[in-house]
């Protein structure tokens, strides 16, 4: 297995060496001047190939499988899914990239003892992320885990503890904007004072999602292992409007737009504003647009206040895609001397206090946030290479579990505030909810006994 004893430490020397060799292009908090399509082409070459199994390949996982297969220092050895059609489709997509045909496997747990597999990519529905990752860590596999890493704060705690327990194992979170060069530069500019002290952040996501109808209990289709799809979730009868993708809108499996898409943007806001845990948080919204089985809000605002005179808010509109500041997805940082806008792609604008653009940085790579499968393939390759670099050289991860915990927690607390209809008071030292038994009831959840997550 490929690994490195220093993998959780910042290995500055290895980083510099690789920067010069053109293997990795991101510096922790640094900038990426001169990054071009040519240099992108250079970074996807390296000597040693890391063997990767992709878990869950209907949509995002297939895009990741293709993207991992494009990396010359990687071999996609296994494609696993509980939908047998998805396995076949994904094997064909990977084979088309480089002529190498991965093995298909229905149950990813069978790969855990396979010493030839170095890393797992967890792109299943959210309810499998933490339990599946914990199994992989216990088996000594590195993990690229899709966001949101957990469905409850308790699961997030388990991941943090596991990350400390297995310091040689690398866990990269799929909040890939952390590796996009111009975003890294934008955040560094904020830290360097381009807009003065940033005191307010606004994040948003807007789409035109269609209704999901009223589901009927029907027989489980022959192409699906529904028992394994449910895995850690307590059992519910199969309905015809749940699989695939629509599970995002049921509290039992996903948790809606906030952890699904808000996480990317709240993570940027938290990073740029240099804040950790809030002091209070509230949220309102509802399923306003359609009457169907969709449980999570299709329209939601979340207000989050931090101790040092800073706050942020997030607006999610699943069913009205009108953009803000010309972007359907974005993060705006408001500061004492101006504002900085990060839109959907690898680009940003700086405004003065009157709203005049004083600087604009554009990307030669485009990202399409409405492409729910693979919005930004070339840029995401940088995040994948950062994962590999952490495995081989111990380079600093751009999106590690410890830091991502705090961003994911903002989403989870936002949903807990929404579901309990209360303003939550939070301990800014730990992120814990203060004095609210009902809200604490949502800190964890019940599991199917066979799949209870353990470190
Ligand atoms: N980082 C990003 O930009 C980004 C973009 C899209 C989705 N995502 C994330 O990727 C994850 C998957 O989303 P999606 O849209 O592809 O969902 P999806 O429902 O379309 O696909 C999930 C796949 O996982 C499979 N699966 C379920 N249980 C499994 C198991 N035990 N073993 C193997 N496969 C299993 C399902 O059969 C399905 O094929 C979500 O967590 C989502 O938040 C991230």
The pLDDT tens digits of the residues spanning 177-236 come to 999 999 999 999 999 999 999 999 999 999 999 999 999 999 999 999 999 999 999 999
pLDDT score recorded for residue 378: 82
Closest atom of ligand 1 to 174 CA is: 1
Distance CA 81, CA 226 (A): 11
pLDDT score recorded for residue 1: 59
Distance 194 CA to ligand 1 centre (A): 38
Cβ-based neighbours of 111, under 8 Å, separated by 6 or more: 53, 78, 80, 105, 117, 120
What are the angstrom distances between the C-alpha of 269 and each of 114, 263, 334? 40, 10, 10
pLDDT score recorded for residue 354: 98
Q: Is 81 in the pocket of ligand 1 (CB under 6 A)?
A: yes
- Go through the chain and tell me how many residues it has: 455
Stretch 82-107: mean pLDDT, rounded?
97
Domain 12-179+380-399 in CATH 3.40.50.720? The answer is: yes
Q: What are phi and psi of 53, to 5 degrees?
A: -110, 135
> Tokens for 373?
């499968």
Please check the confidence at residue 315 and state whether its pLDDT lies above 90.
yes
Q: Is 86 in the pocket of ligand 1 (CB under 6 A)?
A: yes
CB atoms within 10 A of CB 356: 9
Which residue, by CA, sits nearest to atom 33 of ligand 1?
A: 81
Which residue, by CA, sits nearest to atom 28 of ligand 1?
A: 229
Q: Name the pTM for this structure.
A: 0.91
What pLDDT, in 10s, does the model give residues 360-395?
999 877 666 566 666 577 889 999 999 999 999 999
Task: Label residue 34 by pLDDT band (50, 70, 90).
Answer: very low
Pocket test for ligand 1, best of 54, 55, 58, 63 (most atoms within 8 A of CB): 58
Please check the confidence at residue 13 and state whether its pLDDT lies above 60.
no
Which residue, by CA, sits nearest to atom 4 of ligand 1?
A: 60
pLDDT score recorded for residue 41: 41
What pLDDT, in 10s, does the model give residues 298-313?
999 999 999 999 999 9
Q: Is 272 in the pocket of ligand 1 (CB under 6 A)?
A: no
Closest atom of ligand 1 to 244 CA is: 19
Share of residues in the chain with pLDDT > 90 (%) = 85
Which residue, by CA, sits nearest to atom 1 of ligand 1?
A: 174
Q: Is 143 in the pocket of ligand 1 (CB under 6 A)?
A: no
Stretch 92-119: mean pLDDT, rounded?
97
Q: Does residue 71 sit in helix, strand or coil?
A: coil
> CA 216, 220, 224, 227 torsion: positive or negative?
positive
Which residue, by CA, sits nearest to atom 36 of ligand 1?
A: 56
Closest atom of ligand 1 to 86 CA is: 39
Which residue, by CA, sits nearest to atom 8 of ligand 1?
A: 60
Q: What is the CA radius of gyration of the chain?
A: 21
Task: Label residue 31 by pLDDT band (50, 70, 90).
Answer: very low
DSSP conformation class of 204 = E
pLDDT score recorded for residue 83: 98
> Tokens for 350?
């700086």
What pLDDT, in 10s, does the model give residues 120-133?
999 999 999 999 99
Task: Label residue 29 by pLDDT band (50, 70, 90).
Answer: very low
Dihedral (C-alpha) 160, 400, 311, 32: value to the nearest 10 degrees?
170
24 neighbors 386 (Cβ within 8 angstroms): yes
Q: Can you give the residue ranges of every domain in the chain?
A: 12-179+380-399, 193-212+240-365+403-451
Q: Is 267 in the pocket of ligand 1 (CB under 6 A)?
A: no
pLDDT score recorded for residue 371: 60
**Strand segments (E) across 273-338:** 280-286, 299-306, 310-317, 329-335
Stretch 254-278: mean pLDDT, rounded?
98
What are the angstrom distances between the C-alpha of 184 and each of 18, 314, 435? 18, 21, 38
What would the CATH number be for the domain defined by 193-212+240-365+403-451?
3.30.360.10
Which residue, by CA, sits nearest to atom 17 of ligand 1?
A: 245
Between 98 and 359, the more confident residue is 359
What are the angstrom distances between the C-alpha of 218 and each of 214, 303, 372? 12, 40, 27
Between 429 and 367, the more confident residue is 429
Stretch 13-26: mean pLDDT, rounded?
30
Residue for token pair 């040689």: 168
Nearest to 342 by CA among 361, 318, 323, 366: 361
pLDDT score recorded for residue 4: 54
Residue for token pair 């979340």: 302
What pLDDT, in 10s, does the model give residues 157-179?
999 999 999 999 999 999 999 99
> Tokens for 441?
């009831």
Distance 129 CA to ligand 1 centre (A): 9
What are the angstrom distances between the C-alpha of 51 and each of 81, 105, 276, 335, 389? 18, 15, 35, 45, 14
Distance 271 CA to ligand 1 centre (A): 26
Which residue, by CA, sits nearest to atom 22 of ligand 1?
A: 124
Distance CA 223, CA 211 (A): 25
């Amino acid at each position: 297995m490929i690994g490195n004893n220093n993998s959780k430490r910042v290995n500055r020397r290895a980083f510099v060496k690789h920067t010069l060799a053109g293997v990795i292009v991101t510096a922790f908090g640094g900038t990426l001047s001169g990054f071009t399509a040519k240099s992108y082409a250079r970074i996807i070459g390296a000597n040693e190939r890391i063997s990767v199994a992709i878990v869950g390949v209907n949509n995002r996982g297939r895009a990741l499988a293709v993207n991992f297969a494009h990396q010359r220092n990687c071999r996609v050895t296994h494609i696993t899914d509980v939908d047998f059609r998805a396995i076949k489709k994904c094997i064909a997509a990977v084979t088309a990239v480089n002529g190498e045909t991965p093995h298909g496997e229905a149950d990813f747990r069978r790969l855990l003892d396979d010493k030839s597999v170095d890393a797992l990519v967890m792109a299943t529905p959210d309810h499998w992320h933490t339990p599946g990752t914990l199994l992989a860590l216990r088996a000594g596999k590195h993990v690229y885990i899709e966001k949101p890493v957990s469905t409850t704060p308790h699961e997030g705690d388990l991941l943090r503890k596991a990350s400390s327990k297995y310091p040689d194992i690398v866990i990269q979170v799929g909040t890939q904007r952390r590796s996009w060069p111009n975003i890294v530069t934008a955040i560094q500019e904020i830290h360097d004072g381009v807009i003065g002290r940033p005191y307010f952040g606004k994040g948003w996501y807007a789409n035109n999602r269609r209704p999901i109808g009223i589901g009927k209990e029907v027989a489980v289709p022959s192409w699906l292992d529904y028992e394994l799809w449910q895995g850690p979730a307590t059992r519910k009868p199969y309905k015809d409007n749940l699989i695939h993708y629509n599970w995002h809108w049921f509290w039992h499996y996903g948790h809606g737009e906030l952890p699904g898409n808000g996480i990317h943007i709240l993570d940027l806001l938290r990073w740029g504003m240099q804040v950790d845990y809030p002091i209070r948080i509230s949220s309102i919204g509802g399923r306003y647009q359609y009457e169907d089985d969709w449980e999570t809000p299709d329209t939601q605002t979340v207000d989050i206040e931090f101790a040092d005179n800073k706050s942020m808010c997030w607006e999610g509109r699943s069913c009205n895609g009108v953009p803000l500041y010309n972007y359907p997805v974005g993060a705006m940082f408001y500061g004492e001397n101006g504002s900085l806008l990060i839109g959907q792609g690898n680009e940003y604008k700086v405004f003065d206090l009157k709203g005049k653009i004083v600087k604009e940085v554009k990307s030669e790579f485009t990202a399409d946030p409405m492409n729910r499968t693979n919005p930004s393939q070339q840029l995401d390759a940088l995040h994948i290479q950062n994962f590999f670099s952490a495995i081989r050289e111990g380079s600093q991860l751009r999106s590690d579990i410890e830091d991502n915990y705090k961003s994911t927690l903002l989403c989870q607390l936002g949903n807990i505030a929404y579901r309990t209809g209360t303003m939550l008071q939070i301990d800014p030292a730990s992120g814990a909810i203060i004095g609210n038994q009902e809200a604490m009831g949502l800190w964890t959840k019940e599991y199917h006994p066979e799949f209870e997550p353990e470190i």
